[in-house]
Amino acid sequence: MDAAISHPALVQTLEVCGLPLVVRRSGTGPVVVCLHATGHGARDFDRLAQRRGGVFTFIALDWPGQGDSPREAEPASAGRYAALVGGLLEALDLRDVILLGNSIGGAAAILCAANHADRVRGLVLCNSGGLIPPNLFIRMFCRHMARRFEKAASGDAGFPVWFRRYYQQVLPRPEAAWRREEIVAGCEKAAPVLAEAWRSFAEPDADIRPVLRGLRIPILFAWGLRDRILPWFLVRGLARRTPGAWIALFDAGHAAFLETPEAFDAAFMDFARSLPEREARAPA
């Protein structure tokens, strides 16, 4: 039986920065706030929460227009999402949390940690955006992907077939098949947000390496080595130069916590146990 079904998360709609956002919460103990990739949803973290909910409280939100959260007028970007995470931390009065971010969620986690240093005690960056040195090729690729999703949002009949092939590369391992199928099924709904996010990746402020360098908290780089969109070789120099950084590499694509759960859990737990003891309060 699917653990996420046999022990369902508490699902709530909270007002964050004036928006209704759907939030999933489960477990008990210090708080881990989980931030998903564009086009995914908070369900990405259900099985992680089931596996480790006896040790941590996991709180995961659906970005606007994804999962069960309604769309908003503000375009998707790491900066916008960081503001929403900060609003969530304030709304629930969360302090001393671990931020776990995947893809655009990782970039949002970095920005949020910089803006709310008093509330964040550690970062787990799972194939995070914002850390690849920008160049003309990368900007052109991001704009190409944005146009592909804009075309899909306008009713491209061939988009679902293309997206399924694309996600066989994004989440290639069979352990992630359950979630990959859900993401593929929601591809047409997510297309407008994906277009916005990919266009934002080509903007100058998408490069947040200077922000990362300014952080003074423990960071775990948890990277899937099969990722073709955010390959490790473009990030490893930055990671190795980050003082005190932990590095864990996995035989996975874009999300090791979905694809290599046992190996990811071991690295995550070692990192989390190494953090200085503080009072990490769960919401009432």
pLDDT reported for residue 280: 43
Burial 141-167 (b: 16+ CB within 10 A, else e): ebeebbebbbebbeebeebeeebeeeb
Smallest Cα–Cα separation from 3: which of 32, 36, 31, 45?
Answer: 45
> In degrees, to the nearest 5, what angle opens at C-alpha 190 toward C-alphas 26 and 180?
60
Residue 27, by phi and psi: left (phi above 0), alpha (psi -120 to 50) or beta? left
Longest distance between any two alpha carbons in the chain, whole Å: 53
Q: Is 181 helix (H, G, I), strand (E, B) or coil?
A: helix
Instruction: Name the CA radius of gyration of the chain, rounded.
Output: 17
Q: How far apart are CA 102 and CA 34, in angstroms?
A: 8
Q: Are 116 and 93 in contact (CB under 8 A)?
A: no
What is each CA distance from 113 to 8, 24, 63, 178, in whole angstroms?
29, 21, 18, 31
DSSP state of 125: E
Smallest Cα–Cα separation from 284: which of 92, 88, 57?
Answer: 92
Q: How far apart are CA 37 and CA 229, in angstroms?
A: 12
pLDDT reported for residue 27: 95
The CATH number of the domain covering residues in 3-134+206-274: 3.40.50.1820
Smallest Cα–Cα separation from 261: which of 104, 61, 52?
Answer: 52
pTM of this structure: 0.94
Residue 10 pairs in a beta bridge with: 25
Angle, to 10 degrees, between the axis of helix 187-201 and the axis of helix 177-185?
90
Alpha-carbon torsion 221, 224, 229, 233, what sign? positive
Digits of tens for pLDDT over the chain (284 positions)? 344 444 568 999 999 999 999 999 999 999 999 999 999 999 999 999 999 999 999 999 999 999 999 999 999 999 999 999 999 999 999 999 999 999 999 999 999 999 999 999 999 999 999 999 889 999 999 999 999 999 999 999 999 999 999 999 999 999 999 999 999 999 999 999 999 999 999 999 999 999 999 999 999 999 999 999 999 999 999 999 999 999 999 999 999 999 999 999 999 999 999 998 755 444 54
pLDDT reported for residue 1: 35
